[in-house]
Amino acid sequence: MFGALYAAEGSPTSVLIEVAREFSPRIERCGPREVTLDLSGLTHLFGDARTIGAELRRTAADHRLRVRVAIAGTRTAARLLVRHRAGLTVVEPGTEAESLAPLPLTLLTTLSDKPSDLIAIFRRWGLSTCGELAALPPHAVAARLGQDGVGWQRLARGEDALPLVPAIPEERFEQALDLEWPIDGLEPLSFVLGRLMDPLSAHLERRGRGAAVLHVRLHLVTREVHERSLQLPVPMRDARTLRTLALLDLESHPPAAAIDRVVVAVDPTPGRIIQFSLLTRPLPSPEQLSTLNARLAALMGEGRCGSPVEVDSWQPGVFEMKPFAPRDSNVVNGAETSPVVALRRFRIPIPARVRVEDGKPSRVSIDRRGMSGGRVETCAGPWRTSGAWWDNELGWNRDEWDVTLSDGATYRIFRDRRLDAWCVEGIVD
């Protein structure tokens, strides 16, 4: 047994859906003014179909909503009847075709997505009502009009072409708490956040979701709202991690006054599925990495923690920072990466003494523990670079060499032509 609700023009759709959900969790939105609902099993609670229809209209009136109600054995029959008749209409299951027989054929166009030019053909045949179309032999209709004509005939009989597709209710992953006394400081706030994060995490776990964005809204005693949003690197739902990330962010951006209401909400996303490898060592969990990055950012400042990224410039040592996001293996885009030669650059170049013979370095002396220097076995260079000559602080003018010394290590050294000084820039690994 199915029911159809058709609201007056201008009625809010959200209120109509709310009324339908008070009677059945299986509802389908058919338009801005119409919903259908599955009424199976409600006779044990309310009584017969007419009593259920009366309760639907009464509940809608309590919400200040004027609706038409139709109850029938099929959704199609209920929808056609509720569009044609005002008030309450109840059709006994099995009598849908007889109830629809006097309705005009033009009413079918409000439900069908098939070509409406068939209505003109039906009129040329002398048909004007649903009953006249339903009485035609189905095989004759199929022979002349194909499956579209058969679909129109099934509509005229009140037959359902598709099952009811229940609308999924919109879930809000949010927790709020009104405080009896205002709090000031992160320590009491941490207890409140912990109390809110636990049920929020449980809700996410029940739905198989993870938090993509964490929102914290603090209502202050000054009637202002202090709101912070954290974009999480991966979907997560661990309550302790979410509380720690929120506290670390609020430590850098504290509210301006005491707090009397705390609201925590998340933007949900499907939970992540982790597949570990038997061949590589697992990395720390995303929750641990996120907490570590947040602690470092709170200690060093925003934009000062992350991974270095090369910049398209010839200036030595220049780089930018991006958020730290390590790969979980040495496989990139399905292909295994091979080892590459890398330069382990010193953040501050190490001064060195270099003997030059025939324009090439012949010996390098380094006053640094673990770097004894020695005779130059092979060398390559020089590579001469210069830039930013208009800036005394950022400008550079240097000759670079790659040298392999008698100690077995390969270094990159350079001569600063402006200062006439030699330095070791890094070690080639």
Using one digit for the tens of pLDDT, what is the confidence trace for 378-391? 888 888 888 877 77
Domain membership flag for residue 50: yes
Domain membership flag for residue 278: no
Residues 121, 77: one domain?
Answer: yes
Residues 148, 10: one domain?
Answer: yes
In tens, the pLDDT along 301-322 reads 777 777 777 777 777 777 777 7
Q: Which of 270, 300, 319 is the last residue of a domain?
A: 270
In tens, the pLDDT along 161-218 reads 888 888 777 778 899 999 989 888 888 899 999 999 999 999 988 888 888 889 999 9
Mean pLDDT of all residues in 388-412: 81
Domain membership flag for residue 316: no
Residues 184, 98: one domain?
Answer: no
Mean pLDDT of all residues in 34-42: 88
Position 274 scores a pLDDT of 66
Residues 114, 181: one domain?
Answer: no
Domain membership flag for residue 323: no
Residues 392, 357: one domain?
Answer: yes
Residues 149, 238: one domain?
Answer: no
Position 334 scores a pLDDT of 46
Number of domains in the chain: 3
Where in the sequence is the domain holding 44, given as residue range(s)? 2-157
Domain membership flag for residue 39: yes
Q: Which of 270, 300, 317 is the last residue of a domain?
A: 270
Measured CA to CA, the distance from residue 280 to residue 289 in angstroms comes to 18
* Residue 335 pLDDT level (bands cut at 50, 70, 90): very low
User: CB 261: neighbour CB atoms within 10 A?
Assistant: 16
Domain membership flag for residue 141: yes
Residues 118, 212: one domain?
Answer: no
In tens, the pLDDT along 104-163 reads 888 888 886 665 678 888 888 888 898 998 899 989 888 888 888 888 889 888 888 888
CB 402 within 8 A of CB 361: no
Residues 151, 200: one domain?
Answer: no
Residues 36, 71: one domain?
Answer: yes
Domain membership flag for residue 249: yes
CATH of the domain at 8: 3.30.70.270
pTM: 0.49
Q: Which of 125, 157, 189 is the last residue of a domain?
A: 157
Measured CA to CA, the distance from residue 305 to residue 149 in angstroms comes to 67
